[in-house]
Chain A
Amino acid sequence: MNAADTIMIFLILTNLSLLASSRFNACIKIVALQGVIVGLLPLIAANGPLTIYSYLLALLIVTVKGILFPYLLKHTLRSVNVRREIEPFIGYGASIIIGVLALIVSFWLTTHIPFHDKILSTTAPAVAFFTIFCGLFIIVSRVQALTQVMGYIVFENGIYIFGSALLIEQSFLVELGIILDVFVVVFIMGITMFHISRAFDHIDTDRLREK
């Protein structure tokens, strides 16, 4: 087992533990950890000499996902007056079972996709799919807007893993653009949520239609 596979296992574990956590504080920590791992991935995956841009990018992503996002999320958490996910559509036990099923489906999917041989690790595409599914599943199954933002970040992490797993020649500029987009989304969501909680007294997306 090489370093890449170990990291993949770590990523799977972060996803599963995210599915099982209900407290926002814990969730934020897990998402931050996942962000840091994902940010370091290209450094391990690089096949060739690392350029200054790779370092810069890794530094940037680690900073944004590991420090800035947790900060913003915690800041929002303080202002919205909710501590945990109260009644998710799908309970935590069921969530983990669905997560495991999603993991199986992801591995099954990737066996059917032809990849070229220069691939970071055979498990990487499957983990990428799994992360994407987890992100989407969190968005669908959780009620609080804050969890949904985290689902979105996880979803984006999945896409990033896919990119680095396939060793796609990433243009520095494109990556910068994407990270800027995600940053803006999280930032705006924080502000919006603050206003939603002021207007509705909660950030429960299922009850937003009630007046």
Chain B
Amino acid sequence: MKLLIAGFFILLMSSFVPLFSGRRSRVAAVSVAVGTFCCLLLSAGVCIESLFTGNTFDIAYRMSLPFATFALGVDPLSAFFLLPLLLLSTLCAVYGVSYMEKKNSEASSVTIWFFFGILVLGMSLVVVARNGMFFLIAWEIMTLSSFFLVTHDNHKKSVRKAGWIYLVASHIGAAFIFAIFAILGRHSDTLDFAAFQTIMTGAAISTALFIFALLGFGSKAGFIPLHIWLPEAHPAAPSHVSSLMSGIMIKVGVYGFLRTLTFLGDPPLWWGVTLIVIGASSGILGVLFALAQHDIKRLLAYSSVENVGIIALGIGMGLVGISCGEPVVAVLGFAGGLLHVVNHCIFKGLLFLGAGAVIHETGTGEIDHLGGLMKKMPRTGICFMTGSAAICGLPPFNGFVSEFLIFLSALFGVTTGIIPLSSCSIAVIISLALIGGLATACFSKAFGIIFLGEPRSGCAERARDPDAAMTVPMIILAVLCLIIGLSGASAAMLTVTTVSEISGLSMTACAAGLKTAAYPLTAIAMLSSLLIILGGFLFAARRAMPGARVETKGPTWDCGYAKPEPRMQYTSSSFAQPLTQLFSFFLRTKTKLPDTSAAFPAANSFSTETPDFWQEYIFRPAVIFFNRLSAIVAKTETGRIHIYILYIILTLLILLTWNFFR
């Protein structure tokens, strides 16, 4: 534990280096990267030990704040989130060293590196905090530092708007988290987590806490309809930061939710059902909106909503399994959800870094301006393809393992014959299948339009693979996708201690539950390895054959056209059109059709735009309503000091007299 604290201290110190490094932005970047890496190394020991043995490590110091103690602890749940957090942070920092170099001003790079370090520190502290007040402080550090990262390009109006949406959404969420700890604190007279676990709150209070956790942590995690900040904030931030935010910061929300569940005792059935409903809607709608986007980072942001939905489905299956007394279902559900946290962290991190490499080289994230990058950026292309395959849940990559565990949990659930459990399971199977299919469509669109075909504009022509500092993190993440995918059974077993902590089941029961998944996972892994070896062999054979080196180049579109052009290729909206048409009820895509009624139509344009349904139809009207309301209140704000003092006197008098009449 002392090492862990030392690691945090090093990280803190390294975050301050950018403030003093002045012009040498590389020094700033390297120092933060090294600090994060040191923190990873120093915390790895205690995390791994806790993860394998299930032991918990605690340390607490007094703080002068009321109710607060500087209490840190590592248990399997914390370790399970802390390790991927620091790993991805390190990789993103290394990536950023090179990514930020082309960025213009030194001032922005100073703020970015400072807040990057602070953000990593804040997230780590949230995960290991063992005191409510300390947790909230760390939570705010995380939120505010990421706000400054989102708004670093603050001379753009769209970025400022994104920052505001993010700040408001975060703080509405934080208000509910304050409420959670206030209620828990009332019932245990202290804000230490150790005390929360022993209190028995009534059903009404548990319900309130569950709902608050869903709203508070759900807004950070990005459950629909609380997700609106994601598609705004992720594109606004620099790519290595959006990778960090999407890969791990939204998972800190999931962590908070799971941590609250451990305080609440046995879940009633409807908790699990609620989570499944939320998960299914987030998953399906998230991927649908992803499909309709034209900006690569917006697309990835919506896809994060989808994946958080999958995580919620897993946790929901776990909760339903517990309340129906089916340990195997519960264990598989929780394990699937948890493993998907790590997996999503890896492949979404990878995809954002890949998107960053594309933006770095071409200067645009508009899918429709890109194309044919596979030949120019082969390494980035292969990494992005790996990430895409993993996020679609295809074997032999890691996304498959976690989704398979959730599927398996639901399949077991169907066979139990308990009516609520079976119906939930069927719902999970249907929605997960739909999500998988749509995700495949979405990412074949993203990968196909960006990397295949011919360049659609001048931006894509000068692109080449970025340098090693940017490609190596991507390659590491891509290899991790494959490793976890091929060793699915052992990866699943790693969740035993954590699942046991969340579900309250014994470790042997959890291990037994996960054993059921071991056989099919191993079989699939072996089959995939065989296929990979076979494919590699065929590829090598093809390379060895005479004449393999000769490249012929012909036009992609040559079906009788006199002059085929890159502009004739499928665009991202035309690729997705059949599906967006099918789901137009939810998507409400705005199409601007060209007017071709004249005999000789002039030059014209066609565009589609899919604004966020909830932002347009729920949050915007709500904000307008509150603005009107506050305009009334604003009339009392005259800006005259006399009037304010008058308010103070009136308040004083009212309080005094009110006290007597009670």
Contact = CB atoms under 8 A, between A and B. Distances in A.
A199 B193 CA distance: 56
A139 interface: yes
Contact of B660 (A89, A112, A140): A112
Contacts of A112: 660
Contacts of A136: 645, 648-649
B222 to A, nearest CB: 44
A69 interface: no
B656 interface: yes
Interface string B619-662: 00000000000000000000111110110110001001100100
Contacts of B643: 140
Nearest to A89: B642
A78 interface: no
Q: How large is the interface on B (under 10, 10 to 19, 20 to 34, 35 or more residues)?
A: 10 to 19
Contacts of A206: 640, 642
A44 interface: no
B190 to A, nearest CB: 32
Interface in A120-151: 133, 136-137, 139-141
A139 B639 contact: no
A205 B642 contact: yes
A211 interface: no
Nearest to A132: B652
Contacts of B653: 105
A162 to B, nearest CB: 13
Contacts of B657: 109
Nearest to B657: A109
Nearest to A111: B660
A209 interface: yes
B642 to A, nearest CB: 5
Contact of B642 (A109, A113, A139): A139
A89 B660 CA distance: 31
Given A206-B640, A209-B639, A139 B645 contact: yes
Contacts of B645: 136, 139-140
A209 B642 CA distance: 13
A141 B640 CA distance: 12
Contact of B641 (A109, A137, A205): A205
A210 to B, nearest CB: 12
Interface in A13-38: none
A129 to B, nearest CB: 9
Interface string A173-211: 000000000000000000000000000000001100100
B554 to A, nearest CB: 71
Nearest to B656: A109
Contacts of B641: 205
Nearest to A208: B641
Interface in A88-110: 89, 105, 109
Contacts of B648: 136
A112 B653 CA distance: 13
Contacts of A133: 649
Contacts of B640: 205-206, 209
A133 B650 CA distance: 11
A95 B641 CA distance: 19
B643 to A, nearest CB: 8
Nearest to B638: A209
B646 A140 contact: yes
A133 B656 CA distance: 13
A209 B643 CA distance: 14
B656 A140 contact: no
A205 B643 CA distance: 12
Contacts of B646: 140
A89 B638 CA distance: 15
Contacts of A141: 642
B637 to A, nearest CB: 13
B652 to A, nearest CB: 8
Contacts of A105: 653
Contacts of A205: 640-642
Contacts of A140: 642-643, 645-646, 649
Interface in B499-557: none
A133 B639 CA distance: 22
A166 to B, nearest CB: 16
B660 to A, nearest CB: 4
A156 to B, nearest CB: 14
A137 B642 CA distance: 9
A12 to B, nearest CB: 19
Nearest to B661: A112
Contacts of A113: 660
Interface string B258-286: 00000000000000000000000000000
Contacts of B660: 109, 112-113
A195 B313 CA distance: 65
B180 to A, nearest CB: 39
Contacts of B649: 133, 136-137, 140
B650 to A, nearest CB: 10
Interface in A55-95: 89
Contacts of A139: 642, 645
A141 to B, nearest CB: 7
Nearest to A133: B649
Contacts of A109: 656-657, 660
A139 to B, nearest CB: 5
A137 B656 CA distance: 17
A1 B643 CA distance: 40
Nearest to A129: B656
Contacts of B642: 89, 139-141, 205-206
Contacts of B656: 109
Given A136-B649, A141-B642, 11 more contacts: A109-B656, A112-B660, A136-B645, A137-B649, A139-B642, A139-B645, A140-B643, A140-B646, A205-B640, A205-B641, A206-B642
5 contacts: A89-B642, A109-B660, A113-B660, A139-B642, A205-B642
Interface of B: 639-643, 645-646, 648-649, 653, 656-657, 660
- By Cβ-Cβ distance, the 7 closest A-B pairs, closest first, are A112-B660, A140-B646, A136-B649, A140-B642, A140-B645, A139-B645, A205-B641
